[in-house]
Each structure stands twice: as C-alpha cells, then as structure tokens.
Structure 1
C-alpha cells in the first residue's frame, strides 16, 4: 500500500482543499454585525507553508463558501488560487489544469462531503478528514487520523512531504565540475583540504596553506564566507575576546577574520596558477551573492545550515554543484533538505557528506557506516565524508567504505590560535592522508580473482598440485 501512495505522491505539484469540514471544523460563528466567521487551525497553515518551502507545492482552495474569513486566511497563507461560491468543482479544476498546464495525476485533493466525489475522480491523490462522511472515506486513498479543522490538512501535507522525500530521482552517480574534474563512483576520491578560517585573516598564511595543499596533491582547498552582522548572534557582538590582534569584541574579531574582494581575488589567481580547485562554504545569502563574482567549482553547505532553506535556494539559483554536510542533523532533516533540492530540480548536481559536528570528534562518534546508509538511502548521489577527528586512519577507512570525496580541516600548526586548528591536519599529515587514500584506491583492485605473475614463483615452490595452465608458464626474471 505504501508503494502505491508513494507513487501517487511523487507526481503531486498542487494540493487542493475544500474549506468547511477540512480547514475549519464546519461550525458557524457570527460576529456582532452578523458576519460569518471561521475557526481555522494554525497547524494547517504550517502545512501550507511547509509544502511550499520543502517541495515547492502550492495550495489551492475550492469552496462553496464566501466568508470574508476565508479570504483573509488565504491572503495570510499567500494562497492565490482561491475559488469561492463553487457550484461546479470539476469545472473549476479543469480550468485550473488548463491554465496551470497540469494533469489530474499531479493534483492532490482533500475533502469531506459528497460534493467532493466528482472532483476526487479527476485527481491523482485523495484524502479525507477522520470525521468525513462514510461514503467519502470509502473512496479516498488516505483517511486522516485528525478531524476537520483539527489538523487533517497538515496531516495530509506531511504525508505528501514524507512520501516524496523517500523518492529521489537524483541520478548523478558522477558529477563533472566546470573544470572537467569528476566526482563520484568509479572516480578517484576528491580530497579537500579545508582551510576554513585557519588563515586567521592573513593572506600570507593562506598562500602557505595553498602551497602545502598543492605539495600534498590535494584536489581542492576550501574556505568559509560569512557576513558577520548576519551570522553572529546580537547578544554575542560585544562579548570581549582575547585575539592575536589584542582584546576586542567578538563581532570585531569575526570581521577581522573575514576576507573581502581583494583577498579572494588574490586567492582565485593563486589557486589557478597552482592548479588546485577552490571553493567556499557560504553561511548566508549575501555571501553567495558576493562569491558569484568568482567562478568556483561548487558551493558547500555547512551542517549548521542544513535547515536554512533560504540559503539553499539562493545556492541552487546559481546552478553550481552543491555539497552539503549532515552533521548535527536527523535523517528527517536530511530528507527534507534533499526533497527541497529535488523539488527545485530533480537532476541538480548534488553531493552529500556524512559528518559529525564535534571538534575534535571522538572515534566512537564518527559512525562511518552512515556513509553506506546514505548511499543506500539516496542512490545516485555521490556520498562523501567530512571529518573532524584528530587521526588519519578513520578518514582513509571512510574511503574504503565508499566515500567518493573527503574533507579535512587543514592548518600549518595545530597549536596556532583559533577554534578549528586543534581538529585540523598539519602539512605532513595531509601528505600522508593523500598518499594512504591513493594506496587504498589502488589496492582495492577490480574484484576479479586472478593469479598475478608475482605469485608464480611461490606457487611453484609451495603448492603441491599445480594446474596445467601454470606448469609451463615461465617465471618473470
């Protein structure tokens, strides 16, 4: 049954609802001047907003009522498809389908009365409140546990969100960046040295870090871009901090560590000359606008931003590949983020990184098997690993478990001043990490059993019975 509902939900682009008995409890309320009032449930309003934000699905109302309260509620929820005094609901639906260029299968409908039956026959997914008439409940795909006006619309909306979140048509097993590099199954692991804010506001340190990343043969370096006035909570602005530049307020410290146009222009040219990719994690919308001045290979969405749909949407508008981290997140939050991206574009170039947001992270909290869980949950999407541990072995293990890319914080000296240095890899460590990952990739082989030339000598010395095909095979001198 779930597969059937999932298939129906996967096609939905518009949810239509009746008003009385669904959005309201069907009661009649009168004001002092005899105006008919309606009692709406705030949870249903949240359902309208979540459908719009997470899946891009709008809501329409078709009702036989004409109460001013219905009009005000629709305005509040930004519902533009509002049809009052509806005598012929199927005719209204057909007009909407033609005008919006939709098919009946792309419409969901929730109603409670016999006058909803005809329109239900024309749409792809139907539901009713728990207290709908028996004949209606017998006809619909889903009967809500909630009654009309008590959250049944929200329940149906959440069902659609859940079902669509489990159906992903994202099939980018390998994503090609704008410079021709490829990331995904069957490709060499894409290794990212995250400089982040470990440059401490210094271009000199930045250049040294880039040089060390190139020497280690990393594929990319990554930075972080914030608008301090947006990202730093107001109550933290005037908290005093000891910094390399002396004692100053926290907001001034964050301003001090942010690079501007001149610094990023230098970074852009320096990386191009060195032959290494570079990109950033953007923490707010203005930072995306700022970074669009440069032709970076992708954007990274930090774990803290996984639920920031305004930021995600702005990144998607750029069309650049998006790598998102999943630290400090539930599986439901991950599903919601991917559903939002899928609604924007089913084939958007997307990477997902398993991560645990602890700095440094204890081995027992790395949970590397999540790489395979994500791979199975979201087939076709390149899955990687963003690590914050202190050792190297576990990051190499992540690659052996299927990570198509890895990211580790990178510093010149773990003892340097700053919040991220302690959980970072130093230059020699980065060199060993890249070397070990490449060795693991080579050692993985192709999975086809064979006898290597190097085994013939031991075979002839040690094996009791040698197959005829190898008895006369000459040894390599």
Structure 2
C-alpha cells in the first residue's frame, strides 16, 4: 500500500528548518543567522530528479538568505519562503502544475505543518519531530531533520518508482557467506578475538584457533595494520624491550604483524577446523590486503569509528561491517551510521556497544547501551565487545539483547603483550560459551506451559488440580 502511494509521487515538498536543517541556530561573525544543511539531503534532491523524475520544492516560513543559496545550488525552483499560509501555497502549486494531491508528498516536523501534511498524498516527518506530528505522518523517518531525513524519503520514493521493495530498515538477521546468521532469534555469534595476542607467532595463532574451536566459539578475529600508516611518525624510533630484544617501536609493530603467508595459512587452517575468521582493519591498505581472502565480514575498531576514508573503503567491498563504539559520543556513532546509510540504505551492518578501557571496570561497562542502540537503530543487529576481566557481564550482555559478543582471547594472561591481561584464557572461554548457550536455552519462548516434570509435584502438593491435568497427574 505504501509503495503504491510512493510510486505516484511527482513532487516532493518539504519544510526547511527541522527537515533540511537540524533546526539549530547558528550565527556568523556579523551576527547573521546561518543554516547547517546535510550534503546527503542534497544528493537526495539530485537522485530524485535523475532517477525518479520527481521535482523538489521548499515551503518554509523562514526568510534566511542561506535557504535561497541552498535552493539555487540544488536547482530547486519551486521555492516559497516567508510563507504564513502553507495550505494556500500548497493549493496554488498543485493547481499551477496540474497535479493531484495524491501526486504530492510533504515532509514536515512541527505544528504549522499539520494541515498541509493532511492535504498531501503521503506525509513524512523526521525521527525527532514533535509527537503530534508523528501521529499525523504517513511515515516517520529513522533519521533526524538535517541528518539524512530527506535522503531517506528520497530513497523510498526512488525504490517505489523502480518497482523495488520499499524498506525503511534493514533486515534484522544477516546471513554471512559462511552460512551463519546473526540477529535476533539466532544463536549468539561468539567471537574469540585473538587480535595481536599471537605475538607474531603463527604457531601460537594456530594454538589459539584450536582452543577457540574446543571452546565452541563461532569465530576468531585478528587485527590487520600497516605499521607505517598506523604508527605515528614521532613514535617510530622510541626504543622498547620486547621478546625479540630491544628494538624501535616501528620494528616491534612490524614484528607482530602477519603478512600474506601467515594469513593464507590461517585461512586454510580455519576452513579445515570449521570456524569463521575475520579481522579488524586499521587502514585502507589493510583492507586492500584482506580482499585477497573471502572472510565473512569486516570489523571496524572503536578507534577507527571516525576514520571516514577507512569506512568508505570497507563499504566498497560489500561485505558486512561490524562497527564498535568504544570511546565514542552518540554524535560520532550517528555520523558513522549515516555515512554507511548514505552509501547504501540496506548495507549489511552490525553495531557493537563497547567501552575502550583495558581492563574495564564494571561500573563503566554500561550494558544498557545495548538496549539503547537497539531502540535507536531498529533492524540493525546489536552486540557487545567486552574488555572486562570477568565472564558474568558478557553473559548478561546476551540476556540484554546482544546478538553477538566479542572477548579478547589468550593462551595465558601473563604472556608478554598489551592485550593479554584483559583477555580470557581457554578454560574461561569454554565457560563463557557454555553459560551463553545455557542462557539462550533457558530463555525459552515466553509461552506459559506445564511441563511433564511438574506433574509429580502437582499431584503431591496442589489442593485442586485442573480437569485438564487430573488424568495426567494420576498416571
């Protein structure tokens, strides 16, 4: 029904403040009022025009010159500013252009948009619109005003005009190329992060893979860096004591980095023992390197959440992307998510709650963020990347909705290296996997029933037995 309505739209009208802008007030040095527009929304205007033949118009009460400049840049000629009576302007436009109301869409966000929204064939509002506007809107967007809301509407109309399925959110379950599914209702995808805990040794890496298989983990994860890119130049010649003797920091990072021979061996070995493997890539060249292997997904480390060039390079691979959110603000998370969605609204995407402290104190784990992220991004599988020392809190993350979990993994926490102390040893990882699977089984389906194991106690203890169970209780 919605797709049919969207396919009829020939003109998309929009308010300005709160839709094309974030509604904020910005002032220049001379005190003039400025407007902040989102470049993705501008791309939405062009894509509507070029791919769907749909014209864009602006109806706003604003008189800001920046609105005029923006409309000129985007070649929007149907511009109406300083409007006091939006419904009258709406009627004038459709009469002049010979359109029917059902051929016009409107995006609004506040009380002065209500009447015109009820006149349009399809009405939209941003995610942060006032609540009574949401009650009127045909579609409530997932994005806020000034943060991709217009682009979201544009992509919906384009999909409908092309006869494609209109999707307002991603599928909740994502199937990897290994055949394993991640998402609500699926077994938790449990990742043993080897990272750099192999200490540059392929044999240690194999031992860790074997222990992960024995623990029944779903996947192992490594880290791939190009040292010359990732290590700041002023740290290259700092001397360090290492298991290989005293050497410069850049040489130490080179020593711990696996190359083509090691990863080719890891690829074959993981296929042999039947476990997924993938990496966190820390730079663009690392992605280029990893494209030699058919891994099921890419992980973006928390430290890289603001690295737009790295994210864009990963998106070009088309492989599912797992974003980790430690040391990040909500705004930085939103920016990363919007960057992905500006590339492809249906890109296979995961998001992991994390706190980047090693080890992390319980009071800083903030596990309720798992639920916050799930509510903020419906349809995107949410997980947890933990750096605490115990196991119980990771199990708790699963009970709070984590569809995947990741913990650093080591043979011995006393081993030399930066990540071992905050890692889980093999026996601990076995307990972690066991407890997660027990919790999943114990969660049940939420349907109340009387089990056979309860009939004996029922017969002995209950005063009045329901008719439906009397015969069973006698047996």
> Which interval holds the TM-score relative to the shorter structure?
0.7 to 0.9
Partner of 2:171: 172
In the alignment, does 2:268 pair up with 1:317? Answer: no
Partner of 2:6: none
Q: CA RMSD in A?
A: 3.9
Partner of 1:288: 287
Partner of 1:185: 184
Structure 2 Cα separation of the partners of residues 448 and 125 of structure 1: 56
Partner of 2:424: 425
- Residue 464 of structure 1: how far off its partner (Å): 1.4
- Residue 123 of structure 1: how far off its partner (Å): 5.3
- Residue 472 of structure 1: how far off its partner (Å): 1.2
- Residue 5 of structure 1: how far off its partner (Å): 7.0
- Residue 124 of structure 1: how far off its partner (Å): 11
CA 1:126–1:191 in structure 2 vs 1: closer, same or farther (change >3 Å)?
farther
1:105 to 56, 64, 69: 56
Partner of 1:237: 236
- Residue 468 of structure 1: how far off its partner (Å): 1.4
- Residue 197 of structure 1: how far off its partner (Å): 0.2
CA 1:185–1:251 in structure 2 vs 1: closer, same or farther (change >3 Å)?
same
Partner of 1:445: 444
- Residues 265-285 of structure 1: per-residue CA shift (max 9 Å, x gap): 000000000000000000000
- Residue 125 of structure 1: how far off its partner (Å): 10
Partner of 1:246: 245
| Structure of higher CA gyration radius | 1
Structure 1 Cα separation of the partners of residues 77 and 400 of structure 2: 41
Structure 2 Cα separation of the partners of residues 237 and 127 of structure 1: 58
Partner of 2:128: none
- Residue 220 of structure 1: how far off its partner (Å): 0.2
- Residues 359-400 of structure 1: per-residue CA shift (max 9 Å, x gap): 000000000000000000000000000000000000000001
- Residues 10-39 of structure 1: per-residue CA shift (max 9 Å, x gap): 9xxxxxxxxxxx999899xxxxxxxxxxxx
- Residues 184-205 of structure 1: per-residue CA shift (max 9 Å, x gap): 0000000000000000000000
Kept after mapping to 2: 8 A contact 1:190/1:219: yes
Partner of 1:214: 213
Q: Within 5 A, what are the aligned runs for 1:220-369?
A: 220-369=219-368
CA 1:165–1:188 in structure 2 vs 1: closer, same or farther (change >3 Å)?
farther
Structure 2 Cα separation of the partners of residues 365 and 106 of structure 1: 47
Partner of 1:161: 147
Structure 2 Cα separation of the partners of residues 209 and 359 of structure 1: 20
- Residue 104 of structure 1: how far off its partner (Å): 2.4
- Residues 306-349 of structure 1: per-residue CA shift (max 9 Å, x gap): 01111001000000000010000011111111111111001100
SS of aligned partner of 1:472: helix
TM-score where L is the length of structure 2: 0.73
Structure 2 Cα separation of the partners of residues 311 and 441 of structure 1: 35
- Residue 471 of structure 1: how far off its partner (Å): 1.4
- Residue 173 of structure 1: how far off its partner (Å): 0.2
- Residue 116 of structure 1: how far off its partner (Å): 5.6
- Residue 59 of structure 1: how far off its partner (Å): 11
Consecutive unaligned residues in structure 2, runs of 5 or more: 1-13, 22-26, 90-107, 111-143, 154-166
Consecutive unaligned residues in structure 1, runs of 5 or more: 11-21, 28-40, 61-92, 129-134, 144-157
SS of aligned partner of 2:205: helix
Kept after mapping to 1: 8 A contact 2:59/2:83: no
Kept after mapping to 2: 8 A contact 1:165/1:338: no
- Residue 106 of structure 1: how far off its partner (Å): 8.3
CA 1:100–1:468 in structure 2 vs 1: closer, same or farther (change >3 Å)?
closer
Structure 2 Cα separation of the partners of residues 336 and 8 of structure 1: 17
Structure 2 Cα separation of the partners of residues 254 and 297 of structure 1: 26
Structure 1 segments, 4+ long, off by >3 Å, are 3-10, 22-27, 55-60, 96-102, 105-113, 122-128, 135-143, 162-170
Structure 2 Cα separation of the partners of residues 108 and 252 of structure 1: 61
TM-score where L is the length of structure 1: 0.73
Structure 2 Cα separation of the partners of residues 401 and 346 of structure 1: 26
Aligned positions, number: 388
CA 1:5–1:116 in structure 2 vs 1: closer, same or farther (change >3 Å)?
closer
